[in-house]
Structure 1
Amino acid sequence: MKLDNNDIPTTGKLELIAVKSFKACDDMYKIIDFLNKTLKNKHVIFGLTKDAAKDTMKISIYEA
């Protein structure tokens, strides 16, 4: 196991833990950024995607 620049141990592969879709919210990226910065030492990573056509967002949670 190696450490990346943020001191998160990586095996080169992320494991998807959960995915949830919901109505789009403009400030959601701020929450995702906060969670990633706060929980990086817990080896979890949060991702956010937006589908503008459907006005939805999807949050993904990964274990590093």
Structure 2
Amino acid sequence: MSKLEIIAVKSFKSYDEMYKVVDFLNKTLKDKNVIFGLTKAAENDTMTISVYET
């Protein structure tokens, strides 16, 4: 299994349907050797999107 390398990270105000965008990006770009991850921090109402290279 290959190691994932973070190539970009961005935090922003929480958006309830952002998971749909990340899902769309992962499905669309799966053959481009990138994976998108999403985390939500409830304590400050922010989300962080990470872009990984496989």
TM tier, smaller? over 0.9
Which stretches of structure 1, 4 residues or more, deviate above 4 A after TM superposition?
A: none
Any gaps of 5 or more consecutive residues in structure 2?
none
TM-score by length of 1: 0.82
Amino acid of the structure 2 residue aligned with 1:54:
N
Q: Percent identity?
A: 70
1:27 pairs with 2:17: yes
Give the length in aligned residue pairs: 54
Output the CA distance in 1 between the equivalents of 2:48 and 2:8: 10
Any gaps of 5 or more consecutive residues in structure 1?
1-10
Q: Which residue of 2 aligns with 1:6?
A: none
TM-score by length of 2: 0.96
In our comparison, the structure showing a higher alpha carbon Rg is 1
Output the CA distance in 2 between the equivalents of 1:54 and 1:48: 15
